[in-house]
Structure 1
Amino acid sequence: MKWNIKKFEEFTIDELYEVMKQRCDVFVVEQHCMDLDLDGLDRVAEHCFLRNEDGTVIAYCRLLPAGTKYSLPSIGRVLVAKEYRRQGYATKLMEKAISHIEREWKEEEIKVQAQAHLQDFYGSLGFNAVSEVYEDVGIPHIDMIRKG
């Protein structure tokens, strides 16, 4: 298995297809999010993902620079393919993303718009709630910030 962090223009067609397929499988089909996944921000983001031996994307998140979606850099579209959950991939994915933002972007704070039921998970990675729970695309969310 291989971890990758790429800009949009660095994707191969197969990698881009796999990322979009997983995002659709998780957010649209599984979670019934009626939101525009292709929101125009993928082109300015960096994309962190893990592919297994046959090329399937099994973990993914999108890293947005400060000033794009929020004033702070953010991590979003976090997913692990259903058959790979509860094996530590989400933690490894987030650690890679956090490390990249801190090391490469020289940022000290990172925002996530977390699904509320994952507050403890993000808390274990150093994120603290900065909002009340609110609904977004029909799912309870909470804003969280990590200070490095």
Structure 2
Amino acid sequence: MWQYKHFQELSAHDFHQIIKERTKTFVVEQGCAYQEVDDIDLKALHLIKTQKNTIKAYARIYKDNYKVKVGRVFVPKEHRNQGHGQELIKTALDYVACHYPNSEVTVQSEALLKGFYEKFGFKVSSELYYDYNLGHYDMKLVKKVPA
């Protein structure tokens, strides 16, 4: 089941589950020691797919100046390769199209996921750079122009 929740709508249990899984993915699995909880959580929409009280996929969506950013995108290791990631990005982009139809949409992609985001219409908008020893690209959604 997909849930769209602003920070104030998250229960303490919801937020605990999100932070636990984000930390497991981004800090432990990827070996990146950084401030995982930040003030963006307070203004973001948290998009969560749960099944039987387990997070299957997650992203946060937020407006930053004139851009909409989709970030902290993850599928827990034990639920990968089951289509949750594709469903997550499609659901996030549907939300953005409905609520922010004229905004530029961006993601910060790990280099190894560049092809994944390209399938949804994202194009690389930066040189390869390293953030916590992981290669990344900034990517921008290129909207199709009707013929």
User: What TM-score results when the alignment is normalised by the length of structure 1?
Assistant: 0.92
Residue 14 of structure 1, CA deviation = 1.3
Question: Any unmatched runs of 5+ in structure 2?
Answer: none
The 2-side partners of 1:107 and 1:81 are apart by: 31
2:107 and 2:138 in contact (8 A); partners too: yes
Paired amino acid for 2:89: M
Q: How big is each residue's C-alpha offset from its partner over 1:98-146, in whole Å with a ceiling of 9 and x where there is no partner?
A: 1101102223421001001100000001100011110012110001000
The 2-side partners of 1:51 and 1:37 are apart by: 21
User: What TM-score results when the alignment is normalised by the length of structure 2?
Assistant: 0.93
Judged with a 3 Å threshold, the aligned counterparts in structure 2 of structure 1 residues 107 and 48 are, in CA distance, closer, same or farther, namely: farther
Q: Within the alignment, does 1:51 sit opposite 2:50 as a pair?
A: yes
The 1-side partners of 2:39 and 2:132 are apart by: 18
1:108 and 1:147 in contact (8 A); partners too: no
Paired amino acid for 1:6: K
Q: Within the alignment, does 1:126 sit opposite 2:125 as a pair?
A: no
SS in 2 for 1:73: strand
Residue 42 of structure 1, CA deviation = 0.4
Residue 106 of structure 1: aligned partner? 101
Residue 77 of structure 1, CA deviation = 0.4
Among 130, 140, 144, which residue is 1:145 paired with? 140
Count of residue pairs the alignment pairs up? 143
Residue 27 of structure 1, CA deviation = 0.6
Runs ≥4 in structure 1, deviation > 3 angstroms? none
Residue 110 of structure 2: aligned partner? 115
CA RMSD between the two structures: 1.1
SS in 2 for 1:65: strand
Paired amino acid for 1:84: H
The 1-side partners of 2:50 and 2:102 are apart by: 27
Residue 93 of structure 1: aligned partner? 88
2:68 and 2:103 in contact (8 A); partners too: no
The 1-side partners of 2:102 and 2:15 are apart by: 27
